[in-house]
Amino acid sequence: MALPVGRPEEESGLEQIEVDLLLEGIYRRYGFDFREYAPASLRRRLRRRMDGERVETLSALQSLVLHDPQVMERLLLDLSINVTAMFRDPTFFLAFRRQVVPLLRTYPFSRIWVAGCSTGEEVYSLAILLAEERLSERTRIYATDINEAVIDVARLGVFPLEKMQEYTHNYIRAGGTRAFSKYYVARYDGAQFARSLVDSVVFAQHNLASDAAFNEFNVITCRNVMIYFDRPLQDHVHRLFYESLATFGILALGQKESIGQSPHEGAFEELAAEERLYRKVR
């Protein structure tokens, strides 16, 4: 006897059960916590991996993920947020030069955390900026991401050659003071950036959802990452950043993100509100 076909709302409820079980399985098997990611974005990325693995249900995807770490690696690439560019939002970097650099000059040594560094474009952008401001030797950058595969790409410092025109334009608008081409050499279809730029960069895996604070920082940048989190996870990450920032440290968020309504909103003042630069004052 055939079972009755479920109503749309029942099928939607079943899909949510499958999502919950998959995310719980990922957390218990691999330690990656995606349980509080924004649901709509999460579902799109899961469906993409279902298509890639040629399975019809989330339950089938769960079976593959739990038994085959290579499938988990592919899913992790889908779930990680890797949309980035060098000197993305040039006015942010211009504000960083004008507002943050003078503050960094007051410290004998500074630590900067690039949280959610993806493939490293923002890391190299900051490294270039600090070199031009003669702060490289007095600054250490910690570049972290949940995804070890993109961290490996960041360490290499090789970006698509066809992107260099766009990146050069961004660099000029961001207040760059040299010829951008001085920072890389063209090899085949890639642009290899100077290794000296990342001599003082520490690349490491870190999960914003589950890992603790690991140092005290003068600057934390986490741009265009939290827009993919739901409110409880956003609040958790804001607490993590508050605990990790030194007094008078700077927090940099993305254009669609804000310190507003976060657990520690009252502990920050606006440094450059339009560029989402905030200073911790208590």
- For residue 169, give every residue at least 6 positions away whose Cβ sits within 8 Å of its Cβ, in sequence order, or none: none
| Same domain flag for 17 and 116 | no
Q: Are residues 167 and 27 in the same domain?
A: no
CA atoms within 13 A on the CB side of 145: 26
Neighbour count for residue 99 (Cβ, 10 Å): 15
85 inside domain: no
Residue 195, H or E segment: none
pLDDT tier, 3 (very low <50, low <70, confident <90, very high otherwise)? very low
Say yes or no: 167 and 236 in one domain.
yes
- The residue segments making up the domain with residue 19 are 8-79
On whether both 57 and 125 belong to a single domain, the answer is: no
Are 171 and 247 members of one domain? yes
What pLDDT, in 10s, does the model give residues 110-124?
999 999 999 999 999
What's the rounded Cα separation, in Å, for the pair 268 and 112?
18
The residue type found at 182 is K
- The strand pair at 158-160 and 190-193 is best described as antiparallel
The answer on 94 and 75 residing in a single domain is no
Distance CA 161, CA 153 (A): 15
Give the C-alpha separation, 86 to 163, whole Å. Answer: 9
207 vs 32: which has the higher pLDDT = 207
Whether 30 is in a domain gets the answer yes
Q: Which two tokens stand for residue 106?
A: 């007051």
Per-residue pLDDT tens for 144-165? 999 888 999 999 999 999 999 9
Closest-CA residue to 118 (of 70, 150, 71): 150
Q: What are phi and psi of 216, to 5 degrees?
A: -110, 130
Instruction: State whether 192 and 105 are in the same domain.
Output: yes
Asked if 153 contacts 120 with a C-beta cutoff of 8 angstroms, the reply is yes
Half-sphere exposure of 256 (CA within 13 A, CB side): 6
* pLDDT higher than 90, residue 4: no
- Per-residue pLDDT band for 179 (boundaries 50, 70, 90) equals very high
Using DSSP, state whether 16 is helix, strand or coil: helix
Cα separation, 34 vs 229, in Å, equals 9
pLDDT(81) > 70 = no
Is 84 domain-assigned?
no
Q: What is the pLDDT of residue 13?
A: 84
Using the predicted structure, report yes or no on whether residue 80 has a pLDDT greater than 90.
no
**Inter-CA distances, 19 with 24, 56, 146, 150, Å:** 8, 14, 20, 25
CATH of the domain at 244: 3.40.50.150
What gap in Å lies between CA 263 and CA 174, rounded to an integer?
A: 32
Q: Which of 37, 54, 79 is the last residue of a domain?
A: 79
pLDDT at 12 over 80: no
Tens of pLDDT, residues 186-241: 988 899 999 999 999 999 999 998 899 999 999 999 998 998 888 889 999 999 99
What's the total number of domains in the chain? 2
Domain edge (last residue) among 79, 108, 134? 79
Residues 73 and 94 in one domain: no
Whether 164 and 255 map to the same domain: the answer is: yes
